[in-house]
Chains A and B, each alone.
Chain A
């Protein structure tokens, strides 16, 4: 008798396992300035390591928050026992104010409509459980975060149908792309329950335009479906145009108290803005009471540690701190972003113009040996092995065009970033030289191919998932 569920066993045959190689290679040979200066530099990890000093100094000045103390008195017992799935009120209050501030206070949020979850990973899965039956579908614009394939589909049985976006218009969502995706779902006999967008986008690093957002609201209104706006990167907008949240668009359209108002749901997290992915702080915000009620009960399966809720409620209640943090963090992100694009430009590589996120969407189409995903994989392997950079190939993000890569810039020191840029430049130069020599010397090309065919894929079962966000 088959003893384990399909969910448990199918996992081992995940289609994405080849991409975990980048991770594995990195873990075998990680760059270290001192101990391993020729190792692989991790550029596939969308972490924000730029502003820890601000958090650390707040902690140093406010030791009570981490010590289970309030006004000098121990509240350890209270916190140790607190497992109410409604969440710590002080924390939810502080969180909705923080969210409002990120949106320039153009919108405000009601803490009663906020559900806390152990990370946005949990929030997204929970929303799928609430909004769709197994076998139903959500539409997602490509390219999208690879983790969605697991988070939205695995245990929920929900399907993803892509809304194909292309470089022809900088990967923006169009009416026709939306309609095509909807029709594709019909063809596949899948009932569409909603659209999920990530705004600002991962992996594009761009904020959605007001026009795109309005298109979306029109579309979901006509189809009578949901819209989930994953705004996990909302605090990382470092340049104009500013962030336009879905709530702002709805307010502008006077949609409050209309039917569509209840079909808009927001996902948020402190993992990117505050750089605290380890603390597992995510949230669902919904105008639909039934969704809030169901999601609240479902959050039992992934509550946020009360210890962490308390610490962060104190931190986020410090408005002076949050204001300063948001602006300083954005400045640093902007600086790093500029470093990356300059360095790439210097190597003759362009990226999609971006104003948010912890990464750039890099155009390496001209470096492909052919306009195919096989060529993209070849290039990726070269970059991992020969150049020593773990970057994320666009195909892992379901991009329809080969040659795009997501390159992170906020998870390493300035020096390391400079080194990465240097390596890319050398790599591109060597490719150019080889191309020149190609006409002269076929043998070089053959030996490079020889190197590649020695590649052995290890389908590692226990490989740590690429923390692709």
Chain B
């Protein structure tokens, strides 16, 4: 443990430190496993680990040596098998992107990246369509009265994506019921999917 704490003097203050960590364990910093590691640590600020957070993370992983740490991080994606855990992680992922004090929404670009990192393995097709919609779809809705121009999304909308992927079959959109309190962006996404299918 002492060994790792010594090493972490280098690591814990800055993004550069994290990059070094990533190099050490041979995992890309955009890899989902780094994000999972942050979640385990309950890291509050993106790009930084505090001493307590670091300690928490190591304890969770049961790693006290570098090789152990490397191995633990490599296997982190298995942590998400349980649905409750995944949902918690999923929400955390969004929160992690809120960098400013009173920030409540995350820009579209980051959302798309996050979707790719977090959900693509489980819902590859759906994620591709949603990302396409978020980036391109807004152009189609100029005539509709309610503004559909999304530049940033909030936690509620983020959460609705995962739920939507889990509960709705993309091949069976006729049964989608917009009075079921889905978020408006999901309602519009479904409209866009239906239009797309027709053409």
Is this pair of chains taken from one and the same complex? no
Residues of B within 8 A of A (CB): none
Residues of A within 8 A of B (CB): none
